[in-house]
């Protein structure tokens, strides 16, 4: 299988190189109108077919590596280092992305899948797709060159072949880690496609905004995968690392968050270009920067430049990525300078109090957030280079800067839907903002009444203050978004006689993009509420003898046992804890500590009990050598479940936004023809 995998990667590289060269020549001939022995159209088609064949070759290589994992072929160094015989079947798939070489192969394979879909749908716009496919081939050449020459996944083990491997990293032996990395990579890799379309459209001076409509689905699907991947990683960190949190501003966490921020900005600002012909240069550079940030994230993870539980060891491929990023940036700048006259805006922002201005502010704030995170992530590297000492930027610094930025973004999320395009009147502002303002102050009063004060232990607490602001502002934004649904649905209900739920269904299907976006914003609001709960986290730690008790919040934990277990993959020891509330036993929790046999590495298995209001989070930290008694740390984390629920709503809203809206003719079939609401009536209801 090693020979098959290596040969497949070499063939894939040759096919990608042909795709790049033949595609570039064909596009040049089409642009200049020169005669050639073979027609440019035919040459471009052979390039496209080479790209499709390249996908098959990369698939063969990925299959060869997975087959080698399942057959325990320890003659391959990568398999020996990242698998073992006792490893459960699902985690053998995880071996594909558990190391540097395998993760790069996964990247190349997913890039091949995206490229296959792109090339199979080329008839939508043959010339634009030819440009995008050729640029994509250049990216594929880069990754396949690394896999063939710098980080070959099928390198053979030198010396006597061992009977068993070193095993999979214990941190990856968790069900979510079978899903999280592929999901994250689908987001990372997927941004290559809108980048290729944007650069191609700029190179060919593509007329109009059709390229944005073509790439909209690509961008939204990619953004959805990246969003799900980030939050799956958060949940993994919460459930596995045993520190009681879910986001620590780790450099690799930041590396995934930065392209999400710029990708989110791009999704918002392209609507300005579609509707108003504005922000053309802005949009092009947003997607350029997003792609470069995905490359930077890969560099940080793969080259060992930062200290992280996610990062791989020091590697020579960092030079490859830096060189590639410099080339990409140079190409983007050169193309932009050459074609910048094509990107002149058709209109300008006419009023600061308008929907256009909220989109602009939204973009600026997202970019400021991205820059702050980028600065904090790279600061240790820069400080070591300048002064010789690596100065680490911790979570308190990020929170101090990022939390106010996030709250301002939340404010814009609520204001945007309430403002019309171009400009607005004071009467409209008063009408649209009165309900959210009432809800905001009512929430402030309720929060103060239940004890959410902006001070703690007699002194001002920024955490409590920000939580109060987040709760009240979230309620106001939620009221603003829901009012848009009820207002539009009310028009349909009055004119059709349908019930409110049916009216909302029809309203959403008339403009899935708009109302799917509103659902996404609802998900964001719910996540903010969940994040704000962290200000009220509490924890207790104690050594527990048999029948000793540990109170935390409304619960009391009683140790009723301490035992050990083992299997072929790991040895474990865990505590048995009965959980009481108001003197009544509710359930039992079993936090665990494992030591994996192949690698001799320990792993914490957290016990979590979730209810809508909080999580009871219990960690078994080991035993006291002097007394041989378990040490238990318990956390009470309010509202954490709201974060995961909010993510589900975001994914649902994205799916809704991807569904085509009903055409006027189709929509009229859903309601009585005589009662179908007119578009002006709906527009008036949504001002």
Q: Could you read off the pLDDT of 577-595 as tens digits, one per residue?
A: 999 998 899 999 999 999 9
Nearest to 610 by CA among 639, 634, 649: 639
What pLDDT shows up at residue 491? 87
- pLDDT band of 95, cuts 50, 70, 90: confident
Q: Across-strand partners of 542? A: 632
Mean pLDDT, rounded, for 106-126: 94
Question: Is the predicted pLDDT of residue 244 greater than 80, yes or no?
Answer: yes
What pLDDT shows up at residue 496? 81
Burial of 205 (0-12, 13-18, 19+ CB in 10 A): exposed
Phi/psi for 458 (5° steps) reads 85, 0
What pLDDT shows up at residue 394? 84
Q: Could you read off the pLDDT of 452-500 as tens digits, one per residue?
A: 888 777 788 888 999 999 999 999 999 999 988 888 888 888 888 888 8
**How many Å apart are CA 470 and CA 535, to the nearest integer?**
11
Q: What is the pTM of this model?
A: 0.91
Looking at every residue in the chain, the average pLDDT score rounds to 87
Which one of 12-16, 624-628, 660-664 scores highest in mean pLDDT?
A: 12-16
What pLDDT shows up at residue 63? 95
- pLDDT band of 8, cuts 50, 70, 90: very high
Mean pLDDT, rounded, for 233-259: 91
Mean pLDDT, rounded, for 551-563: 91
What pLDDT shows up at residue 108? 95
Chain centre to alpha carbon of residue 249: 15
User: Tokens 């010339």 belong to which residue?
Assistant: 127
Q: Could you read off the pLDDT of 347-399 as tens digits, one per residue?
A: 666 566 667 777 788 889 999 999 999 998 888 878 877 777 777 788 888 99
Strands 459-460, 538-543: pairing kind: unpaired
What pLDDT shows up at residue 302? 66
Question: Is the predicted pLDDT of residue 672 greater than 50, yes or no?
Answer: no
Mean pLDDT, rounded, for 532-549: 92
Question: Is the predicted pLDDT of residue 301 greater than 80, yes or no?
Answer: no
User: Which 8-state DSSP code applies to residue 591?
Assistant: -
What pLDDT shows up at residue 421? 61
Q: Which residue has the higher pLDDT, 625 or 423?
A: 625
Question: Is the predicted pLDDT of residue 680 greater than 60, yes or no?
Answer: no
Question: Is the predicted pLDDT of residue 141 greater than 90, yes or no?
Answer: yes
- pLDDT band of 420, cuts 50, 70, 90: low
What pLDDT shows up at residue 308? 53
What pLDDT shows up at residue 663? 61
- pLDDT band of 426, cuts 50, 70, 90: low
Nearest to 97 by CA among 267, 367, 310: 310
Question: Is the predicted pLDDT of residue 58 greater than 80, yes or no?
Answer: yes
What pLDDT shows up at residue 356? 73
What pLDDT shows up at residue 629? 85
**How many Å apart are CA 471 and CA 475, to the nearest integer?**
6
What pLDDT shows up at residue 18? 97
Q: Is the distance from CB of 452 to CB of 533 less than 8 angstroms?
A: no
**How many Å apart are CA 137 and CA 26, to the nearest integer?**
14
- pLDDT band of 167, cuts 50, 70, 90: confident
Mean pLDDT, rounded, for 291-316: 69
Q: Which residue has the higher pLDDT, 679 or 23?
A: 23
Question: Is the predicted pLDDT of residue 539 greater than 90, yes or no?
Answer: yes
Distances (CA, A) of 210 to 128, 213, 340: 10, 5, 18
Question: Is the predicted pLDDT of residue 568 greater than 90, yes or no?
Answer: no
Mean pLDDT, rounded, for 424-438: 77
What pLDDT shows up at residue 324? 95
What pLDDT shows up at residue 346? 66
Q: Could you read off the pLDDT of 169-223 as tens digits, one per residue?
A: 888 888 888 898 899 999 999 999 999 999 999 999 888 777 888 888 999 999 9
What pLDDT shows up at residue 377? 87
Weakest mean pLDDT among 154-168, 313-327, 421-435, 561-575: 421-435
User: Which 8-state DSSP code applies to residue 671?
Assistant: S
- pLDDT band of 677, cuts 50, 70, 90: very low
Q: Could you read off the pLDDT of 74-91 as tens digits, one per residue?
A: 999 999 999 999 888 888
Q: Is the distance from CB of 180 to CB of 236 less than 8 angstroms?
A: yes
Phi/psi for 488 (5° steps) reads -65, -40
Question: Is the predicted pLDDT of residue 288 greater than 90, yes or no?
Answer: yes
Weakest mean pLDDT among 123-127, 525-529, 638-642: 123-127
- pLDDT band of 665, cuts 50, 70, 90: very low
Query: Is 560 in a helix, a strand, or coil?
Result: strand
- pLDDT band of 23, cuts 50, 70, 90: very high
Phi/psi for 636 (5° steps) reads -120, 105
């Amino acid at each position: 299988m090693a020979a098959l995998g290596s040969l497949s990667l070499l063939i894939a590289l040759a096919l990608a190189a042909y795709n790049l060269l033949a595609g570039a020549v064909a596009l040049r001939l089409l642009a200049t109108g020169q005669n050639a022995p073979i027609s440019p159209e035919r040459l471009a088609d052979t390039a496209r077919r080479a790209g499709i064949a390249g996908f098959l070759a990369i698939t063969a290589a990925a299959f060869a590596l997975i087959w080698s994992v399942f057959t325990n072929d320890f003659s391959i160094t990568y398999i020996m280092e990242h698998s073992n015989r006792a490893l459960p079947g699902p985690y053998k798939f995880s071996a594909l992305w558990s190391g540097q070489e395998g993760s790069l192969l996964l990247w190349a394979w997913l890039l091949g899948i995206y490229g296959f879909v792109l090339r199979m749908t080329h008839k939508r716009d043959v010339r634009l797709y030819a440009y995008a496919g050729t640029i994509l081939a250049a990216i594929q050449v880069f990754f396949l060159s690394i896999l063939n020459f710098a980080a070959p996944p099928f390198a053979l083990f030198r010396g006597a072949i061992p009977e068993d491997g070193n095993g999979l990293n214990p941190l990856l032996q968790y069900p979510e880690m079978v899903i999280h990395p592929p999901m994250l990579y689908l987001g990372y890799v997927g941004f290559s496609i809108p980048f290729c379309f944007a650069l191609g459209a700029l190179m060919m001076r593509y007329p109009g905004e059709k390229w944005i409509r073509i790439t909209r689905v690509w961008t939204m699907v990619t953004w959805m995968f990246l969003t799900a991947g980030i939050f799956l990683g958060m949940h993994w960190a919460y459930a596995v690392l045993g520190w009681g949190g879910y986001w620590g501003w780790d450099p690799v966490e930041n590396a995934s968050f930065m392209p999400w921020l710029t990708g989110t900005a791009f999704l918002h600002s392209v609507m300005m270009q579609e509707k108003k012909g504005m922000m053309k240069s802005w949009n092009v550079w947003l997607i350029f920067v997003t792609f470069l940030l995905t490359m930077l994230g890969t560099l940080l993870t793969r080259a060992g430049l930062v200290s992280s539980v996610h990062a791989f060891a020091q590697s020579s491929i960092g030079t490859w990525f830096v060189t590639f990023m410099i080339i990409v940036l140079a190409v983007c700048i050169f193309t932009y300078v050459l074609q910048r006259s094509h990107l002149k805006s058709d209109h300008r922002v006419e009023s600061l109090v308008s929907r256009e201005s909220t989109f602009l502010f939204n973009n600026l704030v997202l970019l400021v957030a991205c820059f702050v995170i980028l600065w904090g992530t790279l600061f240790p590297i820069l400080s070591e280079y300048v002064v010789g000492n690596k100065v680490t930027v911790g979570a308190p610094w990020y929170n101090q800067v990022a939390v106010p930025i996030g709250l301002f973004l939340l404010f814009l999320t609520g204001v945007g839907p309430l403002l019309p395009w171009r400009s607005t009147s004071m009467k409209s502002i008063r009408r649209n903002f009165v309900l959210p303002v009432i809800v905001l102050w009512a929430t402030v009063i309720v929060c103060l009444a239940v004890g959410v004060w902006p001070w703690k232990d007699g002194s001002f607490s920024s955490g409590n203050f920000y939580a109060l602001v987040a709760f009240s502002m979230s309620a106001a934004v939620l009221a603003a978004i829901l009012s848009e649904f009820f207002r539009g649905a009310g028009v349909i209900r009055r004119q059709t006689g349908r019930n409110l739920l049916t009216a909302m269904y029809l309203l959403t299907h008339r403009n899935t993009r708009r109302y799917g976006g509103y659902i996404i914003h609802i998900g964001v609001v719910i996540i903010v509420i969940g994040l704000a709960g962290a200000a009220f986290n509490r924890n207790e730690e104690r050594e527990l003898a048999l029948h000793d008790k540990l109170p935390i919040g409304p619960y009391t934990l009683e140790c009723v046992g301490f035992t050990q277990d083992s299997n072929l993959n790991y040895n474990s020891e865990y505590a048995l804890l009965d959980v009481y509330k108001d003197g009544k036993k509710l359930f039992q929790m079993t936090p665990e500590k494992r030591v994996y046999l192949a690698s001799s590495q320990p792993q914490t298995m957290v016990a979590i009990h979730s209810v809508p209001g909080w999580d009871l989070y219990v960690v078994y930290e080991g035993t006291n050598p002097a007394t041989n008694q378990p040490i238990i740390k318990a956390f009470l984390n309010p509202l954490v479940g709201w974060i995961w629920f909010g993510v589900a709503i975001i994914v649902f809203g994205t799916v809704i936004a991807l569904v085509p809206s009903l055409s006027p003719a189709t929509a009229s079939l859903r309601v009585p023809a005589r009662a179908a609401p007119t578009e002006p009536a709906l527009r008036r209801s949504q001002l």
